[in-house]
Amino acid sequence: MRYFKINTIILLIVLFGIFEITPIEAKTKNLTVIKDSSILSKSNFIQKMREHIKRVERFGLEILKELKARYPSEYLAISEDDVRNYLQLHDKTKLDQGNIADALSQFYGLTREELMKRSSRLVQNGTRLDDLQYTIKLLNKADREVGENFLKEKTDATKEKFRLIEKVADCLDTATHRTHEFAHVVVKASEYFSKQISQGIIDDLGTQTSRLVEIAQIFEEKTLFVETI
């Protein structure tokens, strides 16, 4: 009898492992994809995300050059290839996780007013706004884990430099190429960072935190460069 119980437990563990659903999949598997010509298609969403990732990479490499010029003792040792490979992982989970692109595409680029107008339809179709918000949080967490895995062999000080480059590149691109980011009005990167710093939200950059606004402003002043990247 004891043998039977032990083997039953083992079998259940194995079955659970086989059919385990990741948190992101579990949260998005019931998200309804609304058929509406005004909603960005999955393929267009994926294309926009790929373009965003490419621009973040290009922004990041320019930011690295600026940091090397301004703070050579800290940044000259950082490899351009390393930064490029790291930035290519940015937002990758939005493209790799099952039906995430379907789930997110219907909200992409909407203003808060448009999202609210659509909310009654979403509720009727079994999708709630907090599902979207929670899904984005899970995706961002997954993205961070991918990035941290890439940086795991580096010192804490070096990790902070890589995160600084990615954060500024991401926000510069968002501020340059979008007016709304999932119903949030997009502001200048420097303004966004100032607010986050004053609220004590940024906690993963260490001494590099103070450089967020400075570097963002440098590139915001390079209007021609920012608009053509």
Cβ(206)–Cβ(158) under 8 Å? no
Dump pLDDT digits (tens) for 210-221.
999 999 999 988
Q: How many CA atoms lie within 13 A of 211 on its CB side?
A: 21
Strand partners, 181: 184
Residue 149 pLDDT exceeds 90:
yes
Q: pLDDT at position 100, please?
A: 65
Listed in order, strand segments (DSSP E) in 115-157 are none
Q: pLDDT at position 186, please?
A: 61
pLDDT band at 185 (very low <50, low <70, confident <90, very high): low
CA distance 57 to 218: 17
Q: What is the DSSP letter of 78?
A: S
pLDDT greater at residue 121 or residue 12: 121
Dump pLDDT digits (tens) for 2-24.
443 334 333 332 323 323 334 55
Q: How many CB atoms lie within 10 A of CB 189?
A: 26
Q: Can you read off the two tokens belonging to residue 221?
A: 């002043």
User: Which residue matches tokens 């966004």?
Assistant: 192
- 14 backbone φψ class: left, alpha, beta (φ>0; ψ -120 to 50): alpha
Dump pLDDT digits (tens) for 45-86.
788 888 999 999 999 999 999 999 999 999 999 999 999 999
Instruction: Tell me the Cα Rg of the chain.
Output: 21
Residue type, 48: K
Dump pLDDT digits (tens) for 36-56.
555 566 777 788 888 999 999
Residue type, 144: R
**Which span out of 11-15, 156-160, 184-188, 199-203 was modeled with the highest average pLDDT?**
156-160
pLDDT greater at residue 2 or residue 206: 206
Q: Is 3 exposed, middle or buried (0-12, 13-18, 19+ CB in 10 A)?
A: exposed
What is the extent of the structural domain holding 22?
2-228
Angle at CA of residue 87, ends 85 and 90, nearest 5° = 125
The CA-atom distances, in angstroms, between 66 and each of 35, 85, 115, 165, 168 are: 45, 19, 38, 10, 12
Total domains present in the chain? 1
Q: What pTM value is reported for the model?
A: 0.72
Q: How many CA atoms lie within 13 A of 88 on its CB side?
A: 6
Residue 183 pLDDT exceeds 50:
no
